[in-house]
Structures are given as structure tokens and as C-alpha cells.
């Protein structure tokens, strides 16, 4: 297995991009989350480019396509805000509402609604882990 290009310049480049990820925006700031996501994707693309495989590059390109759609990302963040706000209360956002939302966003963006639904579920699961 070939080694990664981890020259001192490459390491500095990665560290600089990682530092730009702080501070992490609050979930209430959908535009801030969008801008932060673009920085995350830039870092991920840089790291993926270090490998000789092209599979990770293709995956990153697909994720960048989604992350680059501000309208969809902001809408997803706003739905996640609603879901998070109802955690631990008698209210909740049901799966049918989430799928309906994903279908609406898919119609606007051309992105598979199951991908949008999966992103929402993963984001909520991560939030639960971080706040447990």
C-alpha cells in the first residue's frame, strides 16, 4: 500500500484548514452551518486527494455537490433545528414529515430524497451522541 504524501507542507496545509473549522457554529445559525460545512468539505477534499485511490475522490465530489447547494443545506439545518427543539418534549417530528421534507428538497435539488433523509437521521444521531 503506497504511503500518503505527508510532507511538512502538506501537514501544514491540512492543519490550517482544520484550524479554520473553529469555532464550530451553533445550530441556530443555518447560514453559519452552511459556511462551516463548505470548510469541512474543503478539508475532506484535501485529505482525499492525498490517496492514490479515486473512490474517495468520487465520494467527496458527490458530497460536495450536496454541500454546495445552499438552499437544501439551510433547509436541512432548519429541519434538524425543529427535530432537536422537540427532543425530550411531548412534541416530535414524525418520519412521514421528514420523508415529505426530503421529497420536497429532492424536487428542488435533484438529490435523491433517501440521501437527504439519511443525512438528517445521521445529523440527529450525532447531535444526540454529543449532547448525551
pTM of the entire predicted model: 0.78
The C-alpha cell 420523508 sits at 99
Alpha carbon distance 23, 77 (integer Å): 18
Write out pLDDT tens, residues 85-117.
888 888 888 888 888 988 998 888 888 888 888
Residue 3 has a pLDDT of 60
CA R_g for the chain: 17
Amino acid at each position: 500500500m503506497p504511503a500518503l504524501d505527508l510532507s511538512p507542507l502538506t501537514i501544514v496545509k491540512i492543519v490550517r484548514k482544520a484550524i479554520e473549522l473553529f469555532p464550530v457554529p451553533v445550530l441556530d445559525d443555518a447560514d453559519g452551518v452552511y459556511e462551516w460545512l463548505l470548510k469541512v468539505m474543503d478539508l475532506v477534499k484535501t485529505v482525499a486527494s492525498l490517496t492514490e485511490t479515486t473512490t474517495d475522490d468520487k465520494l467527496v465530489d458527490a458530497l460536495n455537490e450536496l454541500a454546495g447547494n445552499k438552499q437544501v443545506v439551510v433547509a436541512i439545518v432548519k429541519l434538524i433545528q425543529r427535530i432537536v427543539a422537540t427532543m425530550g418534549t411531548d412534541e416530535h417530528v414524525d418520519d412521514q414529515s421528514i420523508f415529505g421534507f426530503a421529497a420536497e428538497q429532492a424536487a428542488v435539488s435533484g438529490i435523491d430524497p433517501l440521501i437527504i433523509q439519511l443525512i438528517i437521521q445521521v445529523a440527529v444521531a450525532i447531535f444526540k451522541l454529543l449532547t448525551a
